[in-house]
Every structure is written in C-alpha cells, then in structure tokens.
Amino acid sequence: MAVQPITRRGLVFGTGAMMATAAAPAARSGQTIDLTWGDLIPGGPDHLTDTIRDLIGYHTASFLQLLPTEVDRTVVEDYNGQQVRLPGYMVPLDFLSTGVTEFLLVPYVGACIHVPPPPPNQIAMVRAETPYETSRYFEAVTVAGRMQTEHLSMDLAEVGYTIGEADVEPYGWR
C-alpha cells in the first residue's frame, strides 16, 4: 500500500504536512517505496506534531531550525539500497546543455540558498540516470531511484542521503 501523493498546494505550501504524513510501509521485495520528508527523520514525524501545530503559518525554515540537534544530524538507514520515490524541490549543481544530472533535493523552496540550510536528514543528493531538462532553480520534481545514507559536506549544505540511478519527473506527473 503506497502513501497517496500530496497535492501541489501541499508541496508548495505545506512542508509541515509533508512531514506529518504517515510513512509508507517498507517494500522489501523490489517495489518502490513512496517516502515523505518526515520518513527521513529518525523516529518519524510523530514527535514533531506539537511543533508543526505551533508553527502553522510560519516559514518552513523556522520550523527546521527548531529540530533537536541529535535528530537533525541523524539519518534513517531503513531505506539503504531500497528503490524509493520522493517529491521535493531541485537545487541544480550543474547545468549541462542537455540538462541537469546532479542536484540537491530539498523539502521547501529556497532551501540551501538562504541561511541556514535544512538539516542533513532533509537533503538528498540526486544523480540522475539521464539529464533532466530545466532552466530554473527550485522546480518541483519527483525523484525515483536507489537511496543510500551518505554524509556529504558541500559549500551549500551538509547532505545525509544520496539517490542514484534516479529518474526525475515534474511533480505530479505519473
């Protein structure tokens, strides 16, 4: 059973809703696991419910700054080597003439551009199988690929996950 995809409004305006969405059951038989950003927080989003409720109407970056240090630096290893699908916003790291092949996937618009960036467990480095054609930052996309926990330190941010062999589609297209 897969988690129903969130609405475009939910992706654009409701990162808190994305985090509060229940985790999809882990598919261990080669199926793709539909993830939310809350699934990538140790212990899941349940411990954040009161914080989310208190911060409704505030910018997501404010919410992410309140995450406890031990939670925001820790990654969930349950999805290592699994085929996953995760919606988010693209922060391109390269613009080739054929499209973008490496980018950061983040849960909200503006992440990694203003300070502070999201915590490592809310950023994935994506390596696309084929170049994705885009000419802008923060395009809403859905990424499907093989997830690994991998700590990367970059100028823009600390990254906690990588998604390789990725297929990238505009958000909502399936």
Question: By C-alpha distance, which of 66, 3, 69 is closest to 42?
Answer: 69
Question: Between residues 61 and 109, which one has the greater pLDDT?
Answer: 109
Say whether pLDDT at 171 is over 50.
yes
Do residues 166 and 147 lie in contact, with contact meaning Cβ atoms separated by under 8 Å? Answer: no
Tell me the average pLDDT of the chain: 74
pLDDT at position 97 = 81
pLDDT at position 26 = 45
pLDDT at position 135 = 72
* Residues forming beta bridges with residue 167, ordered by sequence position: 144
Say whether pLDDT at 40 is over 70.
yes
Q: What is the pLDDT of residues 2-17, one digit of tens each?
A: 433 433 333 433 343 3
pLDDT at position 173 = 59
Sorted by sequence, the CB contacts under 8 Å of residue 136 that are 6+ apart come out as none
Q: What is the pLDDT of residues 69-104, one digit of tens each?
A: 555 578 999 999 999 999 999 999 887 788 999 999
Average pLDDT on 127-131 reads 93
pTM of the model: 0.71
